[in-house]
Amino acid sequence: MAARSGGCQGLEECVHSGVRYDDFRKRLVAAVLNAPGETPEAQRRAVLEQARETPGAKGNLPPALTHYVDTVARHAYKVTDADVATLQRAGQSDDSLFEVTVAAAVGAALHRLDRGMAALRGEEAD
């Protein structure tokens, strides 16, 4: 089997090196946090970090967003129109809600990726 350019050879090497996803992860997080938008970078970062934490963890988010971020991170299919309407009444614009949703989804995905890679390395779940 030929080596992949810029990557690793085989699952074992990829699992232990972490090389395969590092650049992608960094670019993805930078795009979510640093792209122009309505939501301040600090708030997007707080959303991403809360979504990566233990479900139900309380971060530095406004109370109106805490439940929403947790729902997106754990059970995105359970987000309702009423949830969105509540946030809109609390002053969140559609653009801001989109940015928060993306940050929460990316945070949850990174958490799952980290746990999956740890499992492949035979490490205990956190």
* pLDDT, tens digit (0-9, with 9 covering 90-100), for 42-79: 999 999 999 987 555 556 788 879 999 999 999 999 99
* pLDDT, tens digit (0-9, with 9 covering 90-100), for 111-126: 998 888 888 888 876 6
Give me the pLDDT at residue 103, please: 96
Give me the pLDDT at residue 55, please: 55
Least confident of 30-34, 59-63, 100-104: 59-63
Give me the pLDDT at residue 5, please: 46
- What's CA 113's distance to the chain center, in Å? 10
pTM for the structure as a whole: 0.79
Output b/e per residue, 14-47; b: 16+ Cβ within 10 A.
bbeeeebeeeebeeebeebbeeebebeeebbbbb
